[in-house]
Amino acid sequence: MRFTENLHEPNEKNRKIIDLSYTLSTASPVWPGEEEPELQRTSTLDRDGANVSQICLNVHTETHVDAPKHFYGKGATIDDIPLDSFAGRAAVYRCPEKPEGGEVSLEQVKGSGIELEEKDVFILVSGLEELRGDSSYFREFPVPSTELLNWLLEKGIKCYGTDCPSVDPLGSESHEKHKLLLAENIPIVENLANMDQISEKKDIFFLAFPLKLKGLEASPCRALAMIGPDCGPG
DSSP SS3 for 204: strand
pLDDT in tens, 3-26: 444 444 445 666 899 999 999 999
State the pLDDT at residue 13.
Answer: 62
Answer whether 121's CB lies under 8 Å from 3's CB: no
Sequential DSSP letters for 99-140: --SSEE-HHHHHHTT----TTPEEEEE--GGGGTTSGGGGTS
The pLDDT mean for the chain works out to 92
Answer whether 131's CB lies under 8 Å from 163's CB: no
Does the pLDDT at position 232 exceed 80? no
State the pLDDT at residue 12.
Answer: 62
Does the pLDDT at position 60 exceed 80? yes
Q: Which amino acid is at 32?
A: P
pLDDT in tens, 121-161: 999 999 999 999 898 999 999 999 999 999 999 999 999 99
Q: What is the C-alpha to C-alpha distance for residues 2 and 89, in angstroms, rounded to an integer?
A: 8
CATH architecture of the region 12-22+59-231? 3-Layer(bba) Sandwich (3.50)
Q: What is the C-alpha to C-alpha distance for residues 212 and 72, in angstroms, rounded to an integer?
A: 19
Q: Which amino acid is at 151?
A: W
Answer whether 119's CB lies under 8 Å from 82's CB: no
State the pLDDT at residue 135.
Answer: 86
- Count of positions (residues) in the chain: 234
With 0-12 / 13-18 / 19 or more C-beta atoms within 10 angstroms meaning exposed / middle / buried, residue 117 is middle
pLDDT confidence bin for 176, thresholds 50/70/90? very high
Q: Return the H-helix or E-strand segment holding 146.
A: helix 146-155
Answer whether 60's CB lies under 8 Å from 178's CB: no
State the pLDDT at residue 175.
Answer: 98
State the pLDDT at residue 233.
Answer: 41
pLDDT in tens, 181-190: 999 999 999 9
Give me the mean pLDDT over the 65-92 stretch: 98
Angle CA(122)–CA(109)–CA(133) in degrees, nearest 5?
A: 70
Angle CA(179)–CA(159)–CA(101) in degrees, nearest 5?
A: 60
pLDDT in tens, 196-226: 999 877 789 999 999 999 999 999 999 999 9
List, in sequence order, every residue forming a beta bridge with 188; answer none if it has no partner: 66, 160
